[in-house]
Structure 1
Amino acid sequence: MRISIINIGAVAGVAIALALLITKNSEGGAAHYLLNVSYDPTRELYRDINPRFVEKYEAETGSSVGIKQSHGGSSYQARLVATGELQADVVTLGLPSDVEGLHKRGLLADGWDQRLPHASQPYVSTIVFVVRKGNPHAIHDWPDLLKSGIDVIVPDPKTSGNGKAAALAAWGAVVTRGGSEKEARDFLKALYDHAPFLDPAARSAGVAFAIEKIGDVHLAWENEGLREIEQSQGAVEIVYPPTSLRIEPTVAWVDSNVSKHGTEKIARAYLEFLFSDEAQEIIARNGYRPSNPDILAKHADRLPDINLFPITAIARDWADAQQKFFAENGIIDTIYVPKPRTN
């Protein structure tokens, strides 16, 4: 059995990366290949899941399969799939709205979100605060992010699912506790004023905070916060704010592509595997909150019960939130100024 798990960075040079994959295919190996286009922090998750799926699939079918990975900011990844630059068989993206955008472009069939359990959401996540050891600035709640002198590391909401989720969580932290939309808008604008730059993706923002030691607090996916703690050997710690957003990463096979590639059966099996007990355990160990409540409860020491408000607390649904906040002339456009890194 050969397992081909190849990481493709969703950055400039995608055409080169794809050319390398075509060369790999021509060398032989697995009988079939899938391309999983995912968001930035899931590198380790699918590194652990893919070999287990490949082993199970080969044992059950006698046919070998290789999984190729592409990672980058969730919204950026969705755009690359939409334009055909990444010929994804499956997408495992950070927000339902990123996947729904592909449906609107005609790449996914109607009812795509009901083809798998839990509305095609094998796990959920949230936004947490990662701070320096000992929490020297006493950051415990969302208003603390606006203290004088605090630099907030947060990804760009135009390219990153983490960036979008952080914006929605910050907004919701105001309005779900009685604040007005004007107060939420003012808070979000002030939050971006505290950001020295806006990285394009979650992982690069985490590197800036935990490795380069820039900033005082990082607004991170929960799994990224847990990973940063482990890798920093105690130099950083997680603060759970009193309330945060329930984020619902979503998966789908891309109908237009699996039809061309002849991979629908394998793509379906791959995504169904994510809901198996084996994969749910891997998901929990990687810091995501599995959809299986019994497995989530087993990992309560690392994934504590916290107050998560749903997207319906601030919008009709994820599609409405995308339009309200992130569409052209939406809320983000009225308060956001691009801040690329200059060094």
Structure 2
Amino acid sequence: MTRTLPRRVALSGLLPISLLLAACSASGTGATTEGVDPIAVNAFSVMEAANVPVFEDFAATEAAGDLAASDFVTSYGASGDQSRAVVAGADADVVHYSLETDITRLVDEGLVAEDWRETPTRGIATSSVVVFVVREGNPLGIETWDDLVEKDAEIITPNPGSSGSARWNILAAWAHVVGNGGDEDEARGFLADLLDHTIALPASGREATTAFTDGSGDVLLSYENEAILARQNGAEVDYVVPPDTLLIENPAAVTTSADETARAFLEFMTSAQAQADYAASGFRPVVDGVDVPDVEGANDPADPFPAPEQLFTIDDLFGGWGRAAGEFFGDGEDGNPLGIVTEIQQRTGKVGDE
């Protein structure tokens, strides 16, 4: 079953390259305001630059009170690693991850309420699609999933063991096969071929982008927003939205210890104003009514988020992340079987970069 996105317009914006290349680690945006409780934001790596204008715009709202943009204390990294760090005790008021399973891990630990998805956007704060980032001019002529293996492209994608973006990428490849009439054996074979052409599996989506822009590989499997942001910051790359791809939906929630200001910020994240900010960094809005101008760095700034011919979803094709996580990425512990992707990685020796 497929779905197309409505056309939405987005805001142009140029973000400093220093933000794109900043280390994905705990940091603050500046000196915190005396007497004001900071908001600790724990998020997956690609949100680092995109959050800066959102913090600034929230600080200007009545709901922020005396909170300044510098009162956000942030930590960024691979989605799964970030979630596990919160379980281990890392500070977090607002969590924003690549995958739903990284939120449900916190629900299971009593750190996020069970009803976190009961919002107008079902708990989703940002969205994107899986794309191919290619060298400028697309010298290999990569347009489809089949081109990746048929044209012997050297591929970079993050490691599914640590990165949420990697899991979206891999399932998009699986969807290409089964969503177009192929069976499971054909999908397994295609994934094995894809991994055979993969030369690097960095820990996070941001590290994968850095490896590609530093000159490694022919194709980077990535989020559309990562490709747009890289181009905004001067990277000499192009990107291709394949005819069939997977809708990426990134969830956000507050922790059970969050105060009212943090809860107000979570609600602000899906406002038209914040979604325009996120659109400026290449994210597809998750709400209607985002009336913003062109997106610099998009293939067509005036129509930055074209609807693919086939847009698969996790819920429609995979039964949701609650099912897909174990079926495809299970680690074989506690008597559970290895996930399909985990088994293919182990069999091909593509288990991640050292």
Q: Which amino acid aligns with 2:147?
A: D
2:82 counterpart of 1:77 = yes
Matches within 5 A, 1:71-220: 71-84=76-89, 86-114=90-118, 116-210=119-213, 212-220=214-222
1:251 partner SS: strand
Asked which structure has the greater RCO (Cα within 8 Å, sep 6+), the reply is 2
Distance 1:214 1:79, change over 3 A: same
Matches within 5 A, 1:205-284: 205-210=208-213, 212-232=214-234, 235-255=236-256, 258=257, 263-284=258-279
2:282 partner SS: coil
Q: What is the aligned residue count?
A: 316
1:53 partner SS: helix
Structure 1 residue 268: Cα displacement: 0.7
Match of 2:286 among 284, 291, 294: 291
Partner of 2:50: 45
> Does the Cα contact within 8 Å between 2:36 and 2:66 map onto a contact in 1?
no
Structure 2 portions without partners, runs of 5+: 1-18, 295-301, 332-337
1:140 partner SS: coil
Q: List structure 1 runs of 4+ shifted beyond 6 angstroms.
A: none
User: d(CA) in 1 for partners of 2:65 and 2:292?
Assistant: 33
Partner of 1:327: 330
User: d(CA) in 1 for partners of 2:46 and 2:62?
Assistant: 25
Structure 1 residue 63: Cα displacement: 5.5
TM normalised by structure 1 equals: 0.85
User: d(CA) in 1 for partners of 2:22 and 2:84?
Assistant: 15
> Does the Cα contact within 8 Å between 1:146 and 1:191 map onto a contact in 2?
yes
Partner of 2:334: none
Structure 1 residue 319: Cα displacement: 1.2
Q: Deviation digits for residues 116-138 of structure 1, max 9, x if unmatched?
A: 32101122111100111221111
TM normalised by structure 2 equals: 0.82
User: d(CA) in 1 for partners of 2:145 and 2:96?
Assistant: 29
> Does the Cα contact within 8 Å between 2:273 and 2:290 map onto a contact in 1?
no
Q: Which amino acid aligns with 2:274?
A: A
Alignment RMSD (CA, Å):
2.5
User: d(CA) in 1 for partners of 2:350 and 2:24?
Assistant: 20
Distance 1:222 1:30, change over 3 A: farther
User: d(CA) in 2 for partners of 1:196 and 1:64?
Assistant: 43
Structure 1 residue 209: Cα displacement: 0.8
Aligned residues with identical type, % of pairs: 32
User: d(CA) in 2 for partners of 1:239 and 1:187?
Assistant: 20
